[in-house]
Every structure is written in C-alpha cells, then in structure tokens.
Amino acid sequence: MIHSLKTVIGAIFVLGLFAFVPLKAAADGDTHLVLHRGDTEHVFTVEVADTPETRASGLMFRKELADDAGMLFIYPGKQKISMWMKNTLISLDMLFLDRDGMILHISERTTPLSTQVISSRFRVKAVLEVVAGTVERLGLRAGDRVEHDRLAADR
C-alpha cells in the first residue's frame, strides 16, 4: 500500500512539473532586438509574429507592455502593410522596417481600439511595435536601424 501511494505521489509530482513546460516555452520564444540610434544601442525583448495567425492577433488584448519589450511582425516579402488598433488596449509606436532593418516610416502614439488604418507608406519587410513614447524617448527617426537575427536571415 505504501509503495503504491509513493508511486501515485511521484506520478502527480512529475505530471505537475510538465504543467509548467508550456509557460517556459512561451518565455523562451522571446528574442532580443537592438535599436541603433547613432552610436547608441537599445536592447529590447520581442516576440516574433511570423505567421498569418500571430500577425493577425499581434498585441491585441494586452493590458501592458514593458518599456523594453515589443513585437516584431515579419512578412514573407516586402509589401505595403496596413494595420489598425482594433482590440489593442495600449497605445503603440510602430516602426516600419526594410529587409535590412532600416526604419522607413514611424507611426507614433497610435490610438487604442481605433479602426483607423495605419499605413507603412512604403513596401516593408517587418514592423516593430513598442509601447507609445519609445520613439520620442530614444530619439528614433527614419534611417535608424533595427538589428534582429530574423531580419538578417530573411534577406
């Protein structure tokens, strides 16, 4: 009886450990990105949205975003991108990027929950979304560069 009880408790413990694996895997999916402004570098932790599903959901329904976090939307090829803020609860700065990571266009302080179209204006490879005010705080502008492994790999 005691041996069976130890086996059951051991099995519950092991199964309990597996319950935490998905949480760790989600955190491991975050990658680092570097924003270059002149000689200054700013490191961000970003989630990558590179499938139609992840790009469609983006940062919707998030209630907060850290100052050094964001989401990098990567597209299969260069194209004009149109986005909106429907179901997005926080204001964002959007940086529209060329395939080499150069910032081509910036849309600052987007309006939460808005269905107004936000255009890339140019054909872009990626869009970086960060919390509103980041562009102003870091002094970013078109021509600055974003460095990320996926931008270099997808050229």
Residue type, 73: F
Instruction: Compute the average pLDDT of residues 48-66.
Output: 94
Q: Is the pLDDT at 106 greater than 80, yes or no?
A: yes
Q: What's the pLDDT score for residue 152?
A: 74
- With 0-12 / 13-18 / 19 or more C-beta atoms within 10 angstroms meaning exposed / middle / buried, residue 150 is middle
DSSP state of 36: E
Placement of tokens 């991108």 in the chain: 81
The percent of residues in the chain predicted with pLDDT above 70, rounded, is: 79
The percent of residues in the chain predicted with pLDDT above 90, rounded, is: 75
Q: What's the pLDDT score for residue 5?
A: 40
* Alpha helices, DSSP H, located in the chain: 2-19, 21-28, 52-57, 134-138, 149-153
